[in-house]
Structure 1
Amino acid sequence: MADALLFVAGTAGLVIGASLLVRGASKLALSFGISPLVVGLTIVAFGTSAPEVAVSVGAVLDGRTDIAVGNVVGSNIFNVLFILGVSALITPLVVHLQLIRQEVPIMLGASLLLLALGLDGRIGLWDAALMAALMVAYTVFLVVQSRRASAQATEYDEEVKPAAAGAWDARLPVQLLLIAAGLGFLVMGSEALVGAAVNFAKAMGVSDVVIGLTIVAAGTSMPEVATSIAAALKGERDIAVGNVVGSNTFNILGCLGISGLAAGGAGLPLAPSLLAFDVWVMLAVALACLPVFVTGREIARWEGVVFLGYYVAYVAYLILAAQQHDALPLFSNVMLGFVVPLTVVTLVVMLLRPARQA
């Protein structure tokens, strides 16, 4: 009971901290004339991924590197399959052309980079430095791209709108205070969440990797859940998709980069099960975004149902595998022999249909 309360308190701290950080940082960015598009792809996406950073770095410093890496991989799978699935059920999600042309390929590239760097079973110090440098370069690229387009209407028909002069959070000291308070809640929330997760792993007899892929990943993704669902309910359907894509890119490059640097020369070891299965699932999920996004430039409700179904199947597989359940071979055969091939064929047909129509 105490661990459950600790987990809830930790998750609440992460959500509050991310909310304060996003508000303060976005108002600060807008005050300096950065466009709302870039604020969404950077500040909001990075802010909602801040719990992943806090938990992963905290886990590394605590010697729980499996939780750190599993948290990032599990969060990326959760973001696409669960968050986009639920958001699409609320309302079909609009996918802007820039996401298809630029942001999704970058997310795919980051996923492939993680796979390539992790083939030796470890994210070393130089690997982490490369990831962090690429994250900085990507952020600078987005800001420069926004500044060049700020004088004219963008594809989103947005204009740079500084914070209202009379707003309570328009002043620089208030913005800095919000950022500091957000970081404080993130640190406290991450400590509580990691502590509860470790106790859960011991009590349930499962590995840190499985806990990181499921419970911790879902807990640290709560800001993304809140942001995307709120955006879908408000009709801001493009924000729901952009938030997920931007967060996934930051999770790999920023979160693992910072965590790897925090680990120092020891680096981040990748569990064999992650390399053999979960990283490939993350890559497949990222790859599946392209045909789904391209067809009609939206995520339909039935596609949201498919996403949710796959997330349930993924979690079920992790639970069965952790317990070495007798139903695991049958479940695996059904998924690999029927469900996955059928989905691949459907995605290929969806991708080829617009080309034939053109």
Structure 2
Amino acid sequence: MLINLAMFVLGLVALVVGANLLVRGASNLALSFGISPLVVGLTVVAFGTSAPEIAVSVGAVLEGTTDIATGNVVGSNIFNVLFILGLSAVIIPLVVNSQLIKQEVPIMVGASVLLLLLALDGQLGWTDGAILVVLMVAYTAFLIIQSRSQTQAAAAEFEQEILPAQAGSWDSRLPFQLLLIAVGLAFLVLGSEWLVGAAVTFAKALGVSDVVIALTIVSAGTSMPEVATSIAAALKGERDIAVGNVVGSSTFNIFACLGISALVAGTQGLGVAPSLLAFDMWVMLAVAFACLPIFLTGREIARWEGAVFLGYYVAYVAYLILDAQGHDALGAYSTVMMSFVVPITVITLVVSVIQSKSGQQKG
């Protein structure tokens, strides 16, 4: 068990290091070709922070543990919104003004709905994977085109975040940039092998399914780049980046991770566990919809709302643990959550949005 724990930790470290090297090399390479920092931030960085999810999901498919591939993405998207956005908002209330963010949130919701529809037959086939990959390319092209109409403030925010880390650095030359990309990819591949292998061993030792391990430990681990990026951006006051990283990464997870994984799976398809269809995918969809009233009104994500998001993530993990153990308290726990806590939170959010809109109209 200690050896597997060490392999898991080393795999996680390799994924984070690999993602950072890949993002640095690819960002410098893109900037060298004259691509704007805004586009780099919306595409290269967002894709790079999703690289661990892609590596783990593809690695899981190659090792025949498809439940980890799908559970990793679903769990990561739940973790992204509830934990990362919640923690970022608790640190500093997030005021989102960028029109780009308001457009990305409906796209994330649409991607979540599409994933649920494609998975209703119990698997993501080769055709489903092709659809998701085509949408990934279209989404990236959309971001590049959309960036041309962004405000100067949004462009300056990304420039401030990306350029200082690149200017005058030793990796401003092409050979070093290519080396960083190659080494980053190597770390991602190695890290995914260690992490997936250790996760499967943990699942067997603890007597729980691969899905539960993927939804909790693996998804949180592969989301560490998003955690670091969003919290650092929030502390710097770059709130559009803090939010855009989470929303964009969640969309990339669905389009890229599951799309590529389904293609790699070939004719066998990427299996979707019944428990994911029955519960976790619906949680992912609900979490995505929870973002709409906040982001589309352009109001502040207050600290209390961030705390609510964090609380729901803890409640979600607690549900998974109780369910995995077949605990007697599961029924009562589910009843309390669905009958009291969730409705009260929804009503509070709706009232808050109405008050916010009323205040804006009076202003």
Query: Shorter-chain TM-score: which interval?
Result: over 0.9
2:102–2:296 CA contact under 8 A, matched in 1: no
Question: Aligned partners of 1:312 and 1:327: how far apart in 2?
Answer: 16
Q: Which residue of the other structure, out of 206, 209, 212, is the alignment partner of 1:207? A: 209
**DSSP 3-state at the match of 2:83:** helix
Residue number in structure 1 paired with 2:152:
153
Residue number in structure 2 paired with 1:19:
20
Residue by residue over 1:304-348, the C-alpha shift from the partner in whole angstroms, topping out at 9 and shown as x without a partner, is 110100000000000000111011011000001001111221222
Question: Aligned partners of 2:121 and 2:354: how far apart in 1?
Answer: 36
Change (3 A) 1:23 1:165: closer
1:173 aligns with 2:175: yes
**DSSP 3-state at the match of 1:34:** coil
**What's the CA shift for 1:274?**
0.5
Matches within 5 A, 1:87-236: 87-146=88-147, 148-149=148-149, 153=152, 155-157=154-156, 166-236=168-238
TM value normalised by structure 1: 0.94
1:35–1:159 CA contact under 8 A, matched in 2: no
1:290 aligns with 2:289: no
Question: Aligned partners of 2:296 and 2:272: how far apart in 1?
Answer: 33
**DSSP 3-state at the match of 2:170:** coil
Deviates more, 1:73-82 or 1:32-41: 32-41
Question: Aligned partners of 2:68 and 2:271: how far apart in 1?
Answer: 11
Residue by residue over 1:161-189, the C-alpha shift from the partner in whole angstroms, topping out at 9 and shown as x without a partner, is 97867431211111111111110110111
**DSSP 3-state at the match of 1:345:** helix
Runs of 5+ unmatched residues, structure 2: none
**What's the CA shift for 1:94?**
2.7
**DSSP 3-state at the match of 1:169:** helix
1:34–1:143 CA contact under 8 A, matched in 2: no
**DSSP 3-state at the match of 1:325:** coil
1:3 aligns with 2:4: yes
**What's the CA shift for 1:293?**
2.6
Question: Aligned partners of 2:56 and 2:286: how far apart in 1?
Answer: 25
Residue number in structure 2 paired with 1:263:
265
Question: Aligned partners of 1:126 and 1:169: how far apart in 2?
Answer: 40
Change (3 A) 1:99 1:81: farther
Question: Aligned partners of 1:24 and 1:194: how far apart in 2?
Answer: 26
Change (3 A) 1:159 1:67: closer
Q: Which residue of the other structure, out of 227, 251, 254, is the alignment partner of 1:252? A: 254
Residue number in structure 1 paired with 2:333:
331
Aligned residues: 356
Question: Aligned partners of 1:157 and 1:171: how far apart in 2?
Answer: 24
**DSSP 3-state at the match of 1:33:** coil
Question: Aligned partners of 1:153 and 1:91: how far apart in 2?
Answer: 23
AA at the equivalent of 1:318: L
AA at the equivalent of 2:248: G
RMSD value, Cα: 1.9
Change (3 A) 1:282 1:266: same
What is the percentage of aligned positions where both structures have the same residue?
A: 72
1:100–1:290 CA contact under 8 A, matched in 2: no
Residue number in structure 2 paired with 1:35:
36
AA at the equivalent of 1:82: F
Residue by residue over 1:4-63, the C-alpha shift from the partner in whole angstroms, topping out at 9 and shown as x without a partner, is 111110100001000111111111122222222222221111101100000000000100
**What's the CA shift for 1:240?**
1.3
1:97–1:297 CA contact under 8 A, matched in 2: no
Question: Aligned partners of 1:293 and 1:354: how far apart in 2?
Answer: 12
